[in-house]
Amino acid sequence: MTLRSSRQRRSIRVLTALLAVAALVMVVRPAQAAVPTQCQGSETVTYSPGVTFTPQNIEITVSGRFSSCLGGTGQVTSGTYGEQFTIFVGCTDLFDGFEGQRVVEWNTGDSSVIEGTGSSTAAAGQVVTTFTGTVAQGRFQGASAVQTVTLVQPGLLQCLTTGFTKATGLTTLTIV
């Protein structure tokens, strides 16, 4: 009777272990590692009227193009975005933080709505703006997004006279 009991216990343990593994396999599916998508391109920003030291309402038009995208599933290879808005700004407060939404239209015909916050810093004659957020709608929904834009910093002479009206630079977008 002891021998049979021992076999039964061993069988029950083996069966319990097998059931636990089967349940784990059914419940926990292997997580697919998120393959980042990284895009590089350029951005042009126009300011009307030109930005000077005197703060005023400035209409800003942003036009961006990602000419090269790598990663992900390989379907997204390029994209564009554009925005137009008005802010009260002058040369001395260009670096204030902001909240916003950016819509990227992809070469595949669909889009991503990225919602997030941004800030700018000046370094070595350039203004570097970082926009960090989440894809709220569309392709890549739920993924994190970070876009960095590097533009030439406005010169003191421009800020003192007619103001600067246009800046063009490089941009990188990473979606994970």
CATH of the domain at 146: 2.40.350
Q: What's the pLDDT at 15?
A: 36
Q: What's the pLDDT at 12?
A: 40
| Total domain count, the chain | 1
In a domain, 141, yes or no: yes
Average pLDDT of the residues in 88-108? 89
In a domain, 96, yes or no: yes
| Contacting residues for 49 by C-beta, under 8 A, at least 6 apart | 56, 58, 163, 165
In a domain, 53, yes or no: yes
In a domain, 18, yes or no: no
End-to-end CA distance of the chain: 60
Query: Is residue 125 scored above 90 in pLDDT?
Result: no
| Contacting residues for 99 by C-beta, under 8 A, at least 6 apart | 116, 117, 118
**CB crowding 64-86: b at 16 or more within 10 Å, else e:** bbbeebeebeeebeebbbeeeee
Question: What domain range includes position 125?
Answer: 37-175
Task: Report the C-alpha gap between 149 and 158 in whole angstroms.
Answer: 21
In a domain, 32, yes or no: no
Which tokens in the block code for residue 162? 């007619």
Q: Is the peptide bond before 49 cis (omega within 30 degrees of 0)?
A: yes
In a domain, 169, yes or no: yes
Q: What's the pLDDT at 34?
A: 62
In a domain, 17, yes or no: no
Q: Which of the four pLDDT bands, split at 50, 70 and 90, describes residue 47?
A: very high
Query: Is residue 2 scored above 80 in pLDDT?
Result: no
Distances (CA, A) of 97 to 46, 52, 70, 124: 19, 19, 29, 20
pTM: 0.77
Helices (H) and strands (E) in the chain, counts: 2, 8
